[in-house]
Amino acid sequence: MRRQIHALAVAGACALATTAGAETGSGGLAPFRIVAADGTDAIPDSLTDKAGDAAAGAKVVVNRRQGNCLGCHQVSSLKTESFHGEVGPSLDGVAGRWSAAHLRMIVVNPKHVFGEATVMPAFYRIDGLSRVRTEFQGKPILTAQQVEDVVAYLTTLK
């Protein structure tokens, strides 16, 4: 199965490609395509022109106002940071379990990989959400570049 869709269409239940085009431009998300790789959805292409920066990604993973991935995940190499959550699995060795394209999909919208019931938030999605506080409306949790930086960081977790 191979699909050509824009971020706005991707974000909700995939069948409901309704709002595409409604928010292109400055407030909109970068377009991307989702393909199935080894039977699991993946995003093969970078969301940005600039290569991801793993060191910057590590900061996003830690930062409570950004990724706050440590809210739910443990990462042994970030031991100097206090308080790693337990809601999700350890991210140690995650690069060995997933390709970069799959990791990008997981960060953008993990429902594509883990199913609707997953607790993990979609970090690059703006539709299909309810009661979003005004200051966050129309904005994904992470910018496209932050997603790329996080993906670059995750690929170092061998």
Q: Which of 7, 122, 154, 155 binds ligand HEC (CB under 6 A)?
A: 154
- The CB-of-76 to ligand HEC minimum distance in angstroms stands at 13
> Footprint of ligand HEC on residues 1-60 (CB under 6 A)?
none
DSSP 6-73: -HHHHHS-TT---STTTT-STTSPPP---EEETTEEE--S-SSSSPP-HHHHHHHHH-TTTT-GGGT-
Q: Which does 107 bind (CB under 5 to 8 A by kind): ligand HEC, another protein, none?
A: ligand HEC
Q: Which of 46, 67, 140, 143 binds ligand HEC (CB under 6 A)?
A: 67
> Which residue type sits at 99?
S
Please identify, using beta-carbon distances, which residue of 2 and 64 lies nearer to another protein. 64
- The CA-based angle 112-116-121, given to 5 degrees, is 75
Q: Which does 138 bind (CB under 5 to 8 A by kind): another protein, ligand HEC, none?
A: none
Please identify, using beta-carbon distances, which residue of 20 and 95 lies nearer to ligand HEC. 95
36 beta partners: 41
Instruction: With contacts defined by CB under 6 A, name the span among 2-10, 20-28, 32-40, 87-95 that binds ligand HEC.
Output: 87-95
> Footprint of ligand HEC on residues 92-131 (CB under 6 A)?
94, 97, 103, 106-107, 114, 118-121, 123
> Which residue type sits at 83?
F
Residue 156: closest CA among 80, 105, 93? 93
